[in-house]
Amino acid sequence: MKKIFLVLAIICFQLQMVDAQEREFLDNKILYTKWYAADFFNDTTKWAWELDVVYRRQSELGGSDRWSEPLRYSFRPWIAYQFTKMTRVSFNPIGTYNSAPRFPLESDLERPFEREYRTTLQVNNYAYYGRFNFTHRLRFESRWRGIDRAEGPNHNYRFRYRIRLRTPLNTDYFYKNNTLYISNYHEVHIEFGPNYGTNYFSQTRNFVGIGYRFWDWTRIELGYLYQLNTRGNNYQIDQSTGPMFYLFFDLLSKNQRRYKYSF
């Protein structure tokens, strides 16, 4: 299993290098926020619920005001099962998304907003090497984009792989209270389907930030995101950069001493 994850990480890095060659990069300033809560249904089960809300803003036509225009709002409820100490599987039956086009070009101002439904299966696998906390996340998404279109939505699939590292600075364990830590991750998105074009390697994300766990079950992160989104012509790439803020109410972590799970 570890060898598989290592290969995926190498592929992720190589795809980002390929995406960066011989392309036109369109600058877009962004501000991302994510709000997440999760807990077990009761004290004796491995079944849990999760909920995340994402809110994003963006600049317009190369401006510097990251709060100028809306970019994305999404709402996703999940049901999850903790199979082992290091592995959790989560399922989001229907997530709702309301997205604006990115606005680095004047022609983008005429592009419509898009509403989307998405069904997602997710696997999180955790690994420890001393104080270093790694997470491998696999997501498979079924997307119905443009659900308000008169001719009906477009449907396609997306596979996502993310590797994340969280490194405690003032303690030796990420799940201790009052832990200050560094967080960074790298993620690649691969899309395909009968109603999809040819920009299969559609997106990469890179994040680095600092976080603080101030209760057993609450932590915040603030960092910087560098994101590349390939447009349908496979030549132009939206280069989105800016701050990202996370707020986690991970009540699952509050129970880690009892269950000895790693979340």
Instruction: Using CA atoms of 88, 89, 95, 101 in order, give the dihedral in degrees to the nearest 10.
Output: 70
The CATH number assigned to the domain with range 2-259 reads 2.40.160
**Cα(7)–Cα(13) distance, rounded to whole angstroms?**
10
Q: Which residue has the tokens 């999940």?
A: 78
**Cα(213)–Cα(92) distance, rounded to whole angstroms?**
26
pLDDT digits (tens, 9 = 90+) for 79-133: 999 888 889 999 999 999 999 999 999 999 999 999 999 999 999 998 888 889 9
Contact (CB, 8 A) for 138 and 9: no
The full DSSP string for 175-235 is: TSTTEEEEEEEEEEEEEE-TT--S--EEEEEEEEEEEEEEETTEEEEEEEEEEEEE-TTSS
**Amino acid sitting at position 61:** L
Give the helix/strand (H/E) hosting 15: helix 2-19
Q: Which residue has the tokens 């696997």?
A: 123
> Which of residues 84 and 136 earns the better pLDDT score?
136
Q: What is the DSSP letter of 232?
A: T
Contacts of 231 (CB under 8 A, 6+ apart): 199, 237, 238
Q: Is the pLDDT confidence value at 177 over 60?
A: yes
Q: Is the pLDDT confidence value at 180 over 90?
A: yes
Domain boundaries, the chain: 2-259
Q: What pLDDT was estimated at residue 235?
A: 81
Q: What pLDDT was estimated at residue 36?
A: 96
Strand ranges (E), 64-153: 69-84, 87-99, 114-129, 132-145
Q: Is the pLDDT confidence value at 39 over 70?
A: yes
> Which of residues 209 and 19 earns the better pLDDT score?
209
Give the pLDDT mean for 71-81.
97
Tell me the CA distances in angstroms from 198 to 19, 100, 188, one per residue in order.
Answer: 13, 22, 16
Give the pTM: 0.87
Give the pLDDT mean for 128-149.
94
**Confidence at 208, pLDDT banded by 50, 70, 90:** very high
